[in-house]
Chains A and B, each alone.
Chain A
Amino acid sequence: MSNIPAQLHYATSHEWIKVDGDIGTVGISDHAQAELSDVVFVDLPKVGAKATAGAVIAVVESVKAASDIYSPVSGEVTEVNADLVKKPELVNKDPYGAAWLFKLKLSAPDEVAKLMDAAAYQAQIGE
């Protein structure tokens, strides 16, 4: 049974976003990190990059494969988590905390309403 914090919004593609005013913080779910296992490399966007809801914005690599990460909402990247370059294993250890991937300034805040809440995401992953 994976951890699914109630205060976050979730995309069907297993990313989470925490919204604080017009700034969103994005990461991948506990379920997703468990499925990936052993994350060894994270490719982050550049600050200033334009994110489009549902489009590839980052890549997380496990031993076995590279997985695309989709931005749950649109906006401009304002900050990336540089710690993950040196310590990609944080994605496995603390997916909702130390392993946030990037922050962005929301350009279409109404997109958040289209994401899932914790209960809907829990139902999606069948737990």
Chain B
Amino acid sequence: MAFAASLRETCSRMTTPDSLQKTALFAAHQKLGARLVDFGGWNMPVQYGGILEEHKAVREAAGVFDISHMGEFFVRGPDALTFLNGLLTNDVAKLAVGQGQYTLMLNEEGGVIDDLIIYRLKEDDYFLVVNAAKIDEDWTWIEDRDAASQLPNFSRENKSKFFSAVALQGPKALEIARKFFGEGWPEPKRNEITSYSWNCQPVLAARTGYTGEDGVELFFANEIAENFLAALLTAGEPLGLKACGLGARDTLRLEACLPLNGNDLSAKRTPLEAGLGVFVSLTKAADFPGKAALLKQKAGGLKEKLVAFRLKEKGPPPRPHYRLFLGEKPVGEVTSGAPSPTLGYGMGLAYVGIEHSEPGTALELEVRGARVPVEVVKKPFYKRAA
């Protein structure tokens, strides 16, 4: 009985089929010696040197990640706000020009289609950044909602194919960005977005990220992607900047308990169960898909909840789909799990019955037929010093 991937599979990931989509930074990754893997249909760098050293660079200095595979949508016009508030969970009306917010797009049952960040670029001009694997599904959903809304005065564009993006993250990220852009760069504050020009090309800079560190996410045209990354690395290397892959991105976001759609979020789980209620406005006037289902779930009380747990002692790291037990009773399934490079213990997220969700609850993790003691802990595992 096989419990895991074989070394044969691990070692054959080097050869990736041509059918995979490539970002404009693909050649740059090859030059940097990246190991490229299939990530949701995209040929992406999982690591350059090693995941541990890249993870450490982001916690202690800075890392830059290719996030060009993510989707970029624009919604513009006088009816844009009304349309978006009838689509997304958070209250878009709370955004001032230049601000962004984390939000979710749900199905009618309250399950998650996608989690995303929406920025208000101008009065009637919104910019949405969505997950790579969900671009088509999100866009189809938006088209359907548009048809149903009958709002006449807005336009929408899926510009995902034309945009490249990198996330610059870490305690030195802002210092590197200032050095890179030079005097006059309008530095965004937390959750803000600004526009600037680099070599006569527009670059959007958002003070957001997916690592638990300070930093910016930078959006620009594919045409300048290679030069942009090369120049950024040159500016940042003296300050410890490293190119980082999706492997480190995953351990970083898990330490910060930032959910990953497809793992921790799904069409069968609501944001209330995922602990994302703060990003859902059930009080805003606008109706949005899933609102009625969430109101009902809230009134009835949650049955299950996404919790963080850690191994009590040194042992095998939790992995997705491992089961949690209380005695002989299965009480939940792991959605994300990994060894924590910063904290040194195995960590995971899992949906468990509400009665087992209190921090301090002792449970057991099933690993290859054996049991390992774990404890439910407060989220997040890692929080950067203020």
Interface size bucket, A side? 20 to 34
Would you call A36 and B10 a contact (CB within 8 A)? yes
Binds B, one of A17-25, A60-68, A111-119: A60-68
Given known pairs A43-B316, A56-B2, the reply for A14 and B52 (CB within 8 Å) is no
B47 an interface residue at 8 Å Cβ cutoff? yes
- Cβ-closest chain A residue relative to B346: A41
- Cβ-closest chain A residue relative to B315: A41
Interface size bucket, B side? 20 to 34
A61 to B337, CA, bound (A): 12
B276 an interface residue at 8 Å Cβ cutoff? no
Would you call B315 and A14 a contact (CB within 8 A)? no
Given known pairs A35-B11, A37-B51, A43-B368, the reply for A64 and B247 (CB within 8 Å) is yes
Given known pairs A14-B8, A31-B11, A66-B316, the reply for A38 and B2 (CB within 8 Å) is no
Would you call A32 and B247 a contact (CB within 8 A)? no
Would you call A37 and B50 a contact (CB within 8 A)? yes
A81 an interface residue at 8 Å Cβ cutoff? no
Would you call B7 and A67 a contact (CB within 8 A)? yes
Of the residues A38, A40, A67, contact of B5 by C-beta under 8 Å: A67
A98 an interface residue at 8 Å Cβ cutoff? no
B209 an interface residue at 8 Å Cβ cutoff? no
- Cβ-closest chain A residue relative to B246: A64
Within 8 A of A (CB), among B39-77: 46-47, 50-52
A92 to B48, CA, bound (A): 16
A40 to B1, CA, bound (A): 22
B319 an interface residue at 8 Å Cβ cutoff? yes
Given known pairs A14-B11, A32-B11, A36-B10, the reply for A67 and B4 (CB within 8 Å) is yes
A59 to B51, CA, bound (A): 19
A100 an interface residue at 8 Å Cβ cutoff? no
Would you call B7 and A56 a contact (CB within 8 A)? no
Shortest C-beta distance, B303 to chain A (Å), equals: 31
Q: Which residues of B contact A38 (CB under 8 A)?
A: 50-52
Q: Which residues of B contact A56 (CB under 8 A)?
A: 1-3
Q: Which residues of B contact A67 (CB under 8 A)?
A: 4-7, 9-10
A56 to B1, CA, bound (A): 7
B251 an interface residue at 8 Å Cβ cutoff? yes
A13 an interface residue at 8 Å Cβ cutoff? yes
Of the residues A65, A70, A125, contact of B11 by C-beta under 8 Å: A125
Q: Which residues of A contact B4 (CB under 8 A)?
A: 59, 61, 65-68
Complex A-B, nearest 8 residue pairs according to Cβ-Cβ distance, in ascending order: A66-B4, A14-B7, A63-B51, A40-B339, A35-B11, A38-B52, A13-B8, A32-B7
A36 to B47, CA, bound (A): 11
A61 to B346, CA, bound (A): 12
Q: Which residues of B contact A59 (CB under 8 A)?
A: 3-4, 316, 368
A-B contact pairs, 24 of them (CB 8 A): A14-B8, A32-B7, A35-B7, A35-B10, A35-B11, A35-B14, A36-B7, A36-B10, A37-B50, A38-B51, A59-B3, A59-B4, A62-B51, A63-B52, A63-B338, A63-B339, A64-B338, A67-B4, A67-B9, A68-B2, A68-B4, A68-B5, A68-B6, A69-B7
